[in-house]
Amino acid sequence: MRGAKILLESLKKEGVDTIFGYPGGVLLSLFDEIYNEKEIKFYLVRHEQGASHMADGYARSTGKVGVCLATSGPGATNLVTGIATAYMDSIPIVALTGQVATSHIGNDAFQEVDITGITRPIVKHNYLVRNSKDIPQIVKNAFHIASTGRPGPVLIDLPKDILAGEVESFVYPETPNLLGYKPKYEPNKMQIKKAVELIEKAKKPIVYIGGGVIASSAYEELLKFIEKIEAPVTTTLLGIGVVPYNHPLYLGMLGMHGTKYANYAIQESDLIIAIGARFDDRVTGDVKTFAPHADIIHIDIDPTSISKIIRVDIPIVGDAKNVLKDLLSEIKEKRHPEWIERIMQWKKQHPLTFSCAGEGLKPQMIVEKISELAGPDAIISTEVGQNQMWTAQFYKFTKPRKFLSSGGLGTMGYGFPAAIGAQVANPDKLVIDIAGDGSIQMNIQELATAVKYNLPVKVAILNNGWLGMVRQWQELFFGKRYSYTDISGSVDFVKIAEAYGAAGFKVEKEQNVEKVLKEAFNIKKPVLIDFHICGEENVWPMVPAGGSLHNMLEETELA
């Protein structure tokens, strides 16, 4: 059996049913096997970066490992941005890359790059396969590493001769062979006891959650926990959806563009219970002034994330679901009426509002209308920038794994291919990419992929003619010197959509927003909607970079 066939059989043993990728010379023997493959569906992308983001969207929306494939050299390097995106957000993907024959490695052969060296800082692990018979064990190890502990990407580099090599028999291993890799899932009982004591003493607790709660599927346990101790809860960008937007204890997102009441609550709290979050700079602002009165309990499966940025008082290493179960079994019911009343006052005083000055549609209104019409089961991806923040602020998420967005890396061009990956994984769901007119052009060629496979992804472009978030910073902090952020008047998105075989709409009047959205949602093919929004609308509130969370800028303060 050829190495290429062994690879496909190994992938099937791991439950792989989908691969996103692009062919190339060193992969010909593998694509020869894919030609007759019945159980794994291959999706031909138009750019390898699209393949890595599709694998990511597939993984985020399902919890399964996403798989992408690219040839050697430029094909492999084109995956790097998507791999880094998955790494920063702890998303399980396995990236397969072709490589020149083992005898040519190190000789600067045609389309040769050291992809294992290039990706080493942005993967959990990577492999260069040296023998065809090693493929099954390496695949077993790779999927185990990608999906366990703190999830993340793993790369397998496959030389041409390894894929073409013959092996006498195929036996897939039952277990991974990984000396020293043993993620800690069960928490230390003494640390649980210490945490319980601190929680029971707290007068102003707040629970701060991140994407780790989604990775752990700890949704039910989290809701029981916050209700049992009556603690308000705030989320990072990647934690959105774990707690329904209308839950009385939910404060929305915190940080640079979080709600005022979430940030005020963090700053005034006497106890922060952080679960599956890493205290990144967009959340903390100035670490010297972050939560000055609070003790901190930090729950995370990755011990290297604990006390990395913010000193914590009680570290608990373990799986969020298991830790929350243990806390629930030990903790007594608590009530904090004065604290909750204080937060309710902040909510009334500082609601998220918008008033778009000048011509054009209100972007926040469009997001709210999409939320109203799409329903609770729709999957929403975003690009990066103002469109991303408006979605995080104004879309009413009620379920986890419905919001897909590049958090840590902030990858423009992520949202559309991620939506395609999510649509492949969830064929019966409505999938919508909320985009900016700058970021959508990063991977707009994947319209061809969506059309070819009849994937009815909808793209809502919030078109303001700018690289909006960069322009906002130039306005606020660089004296309105708009250096190379004006991209207005250069693109007819409707014509682009139609050229690819998708449907296209342009919306400039508020009375047409609902009508076009309803029509688009009923069309059974890809649709691109070009919403012309206020050109210089900003995202409010805002904590300036390096500022303190309690000093948030609002539009009224700058008038």
54 is catalytic: no
d(CA 542, CA 253): 12
From 48, 112, 221, 537, active-site residue: 48
d(CA 553, CA 335): 33
Asked if residue 206 lies in contact with residue 273, where contact means CB atoms within 8 angstroms, the answer is yes
Distances (CA, A) of 491 to 441, 471, 517: 10, 19, 21
From 88, 253, 389, 469, active-site residue: 469
Helix (H) / strand (E) element for 343: namely helix 337-349
Asked if residue 226 lies in contact with residue 207, where contact means CB atoms within 8 angstroms, the answer is yes
Strand 205-209 vs strand 233-235: parallel, antiparallel, or unpaired? parallel
330 SS3 class: helix
186 is catalytic: no
d(CA 541, CA 392): 13
Helix (H) / strand (E) element for 236: namely none
Tokens 């346990």, residue located: 221
470 SS3 class: helix
Q: Per-residue DSSP letters for 295-325?
A: EEEEEES-GGGTTSSS--SEEEES-HHHHHH
From 64, 160, 204, 458, active-site residue: 160
From 1, 12, 37, 111, active-site residue: 111
Q: What are the φ and ψ backbone dihedral angles of 292, each rounded to 5 degrees? A: -65, -20
Distances (CA, A) of 454 to 194, 250, 448: 54, 38, 10
Distances (CA, A) of 21 to 41, 49, 53, 73, 364: 11, 9, 11, 14, 35
Q: Alpha helices, DSSP H only, in 2-124?
A: 3-13, 28-34, 48-62, 74-77, 80-88, 115-119
d(CA 467, CA 179): 47
d(CA 186, CA 189): 9
Tokens 């986890």, residue located: 400
Please list, residue by residue across 76-115, b when 16 or more beta carbons sit within 10 angstroms of its beta carbon and e when fewer do: bbbbbbbbbbbbbbbbbbbbbbbbbbbebbeeebebbbeb
160 is catalytic: yes
- The count of other CB atoms within 10 Å of the CB of residue 546 is 11
Asked if residue 283 lies in contact with residue 364, where contact means CB atoms within 8 angstroms, the answer is no
Give 432's strand partners. 380, 458
48 is catalytic: yes
From 110, 220, 345, 477, active-site residue: 110
386 is catalytic: no
Helix (H) / strand (E) element for 98: namely strand 93-99
d(CA 216, CA 323): 11
Q: Which residues are catalytic?
A: 48, 110-111, 160, 469
